[in-house]
Amino acid sequence: MDKKEKVKEKGEWTKLKLDNNTITGYTVPIGPFHPALLEGEFFKLKVDGERVVDADIKLGYNYRGIMKLAESRSYWRDLYLVERVCGICSHAHTTCYTRTVEMLGKIEVPDRARFIRTLVAELERIHSHLLWAGIGMELIGFRTLFMYIWREREHVLDVLEMISGNRQHYAMNTIGGVRRDVQKDMIPKIMKKISEMKKSLMKLVEVVVRDPIIRNRTVNVGKLDKDIARKICVVGPVARSVGIKIDVRKDDPYAAYEEVPFDIVTAEDGDVFSMVEVRLREVIESVKICEYCLDVLTRIGGDIRTEISEFPVNEAVGRVEAPRGELMYYIVSNGTHIPERVRIRTPSYMNDYAILFMLKDQALADAPIIIAAVDPCMACTDRMIHIEDAKSDKKEIISVYELSKRYRRKEK
């Protein structure tokens, strides 16, 4: 097969917006296979020697058209659909969806339901952040810590299974409340598990923050400028790691966050290290919120859901702090039981844009950890990296794991 036919078969490919005459070197494509919804990504890195000169990104490899699908189902069936937008932050998506629908119909949620929502959301945040920390540590070659962190994550999943019956896709939320109650006899068991976890997590944070190996690989790597971060509106832990103090839980309180005391964790540097630090310190805050919620749940009783009769003609914007940042739903209703328009804006959609700025002028060896640093829902799976020499047509296909293995030891 000659080159022209090959191009025809693959479809036309628009070249990177780079001048090939001035920049000599390789283009390193990373991707595109990806497990999560909106952000199926394909990176093209232009390298000059070992340094990344420019980066480009292409989305849409896993586009499932959830927003269009949601417009053809009833509000109740959409609940199951939006839960499957993301496997890791499934509860955040249903919380945001139910919040927006409750704003449409001006529905009040019972107190007990609000605290159960908060509890599950925080447990989910712990599990998501620990999952990310484990993967991140493995990408820089710290396998022991990866095992250590994931052991703690297993305890969170046990608690979530105890509450909801599932390790993922908890299906706790429904419009106007929650579907399952947290049983009174369950609370002491959860408390015990969480307090044990808290001790080892505190220790773990100290280990990660002080370890010289981790510091060497992450401090001053992939620095994100504060002004650029403001301009591209990054959200969540990425924004907080450059010193932008935004958190939907405080700014636009939902569920029970208005009554729960907690601090917003921020850092100043905006490098990979501060992103690690912010996430791990946030885990400790989340554990505190869980303890508070469990304490309240032992005291208050009452209903866990309200009945809903109709959805009036209206529109609403609901926002929620998912583990990766601010998640937004915009729903327009037309008076029937099917929404007119559902718009989903996921946090990674904003943060992925930051990767392009973070990668510039960094070593190729740091590319795996920089891409993983914004937690783009993509470190979850092993994918293939395709290295291509633009001049000699030399090609090589290796996995992310192998690339990270090859660059475990960075040469200075």
Per the document, the length of the chain is: 412
**226 closest CA partner among 267, 263, 264, 265:** 267
CA pair distance 48, 45, nearest whole angstrom? 10
* Cβ atoms of residues 241 and 267 within 8 Å: yes
Residues that bind another protein (CB under 8 A): 11-14, 17, 58-60, 63, 103, 106, 231-233, 235, 245-246, 248, 251-253, 314-317, 319, 326, 328, 330, 332, 340-341, 343, 345, 349-350, 353
Least separation in angstroms between residue 34's CB and another protein is: 13
For 185, residues 6+ apart whose C-beta sits below 8 A from its C-beta are none
Quote the DSSP letter at residue 305: B
Q: Which is nearer to another protein, 27 or 404 (CB)?
A: 27
Q: Which is nearer to another protein, 340 or 396 (CB)?
A: 340
The answer to whether 293 is annotated as binding is no
Least separation in angstroms between residue 72's CB and another protein is: 13
Least separation in angstroms between residue 267's CB and another protein is: 17
Least separation in angstroms between residue 305's CB and another protein is: 21
Q: Which is nearer to another protein, 187 or 356 (CB)?
A: 356
- Tokens coding 263: 């601090």
Least separation in angstroms between residue 21's CB and another protein is: 21
CA pair distance 98, 330, nearest whole angstrom? 11
Least separation in angstroms between residue 342's CB and another protein is: 9
Angle between the N-to-C axes of helices 143-164 and 186-210, in degrees from 0 to 180, rounded to the nearest 10 = 160
CA pair distance 201, 355, nearest whole angstrom? 28
In this structure, the strands spanning 314-322 and 51-58 are unpaired
The answer to whether 135 is annotated as binding is no
Residue type present at position 55:
A
Least separation in angstroms between residue 251's CB and another protein is: 4
Q: Which is nearer to another protein, 38 or 197 (CB)?
A: 38
> Would you call 14 exposed, middle or buried from its count of C-beta atoms within 10 A (0-12, 13-18, 19+)?
exposed
Least separation in angstroms between residue 232's CB and another protein is: 5
Q: Which is nearer to another protein, 25 or 253 (CB)?
A: 253
Cα-atom radius of gyration of the chain, to the nearest Å? 22
> Would you call 39 exposed, middle or buried from its count of C-beta atoms within 10 A (0-12, 13-18, 19+)?
buried
> Would you call 119 exposed, middle or buried from its count of C-beta atoms within 10 A (0-12, 13-18, 19+)?
buried
* Cβ atoms of residues 15 and 343 within 8 Å: no
The answer to whether 377 is annotated as binding is yes
Helix or strand run (H / E) with residue 47:
strand 42-48
Q: Which is nearer to another protein, 305 or 341 (CB)?
A: 341
Residues marked as binding for Fe cation? 89, 380
User: Can you say which residues are annotated as belonging to the binding site?
Assistant: 86, 89, 344, 377, 380
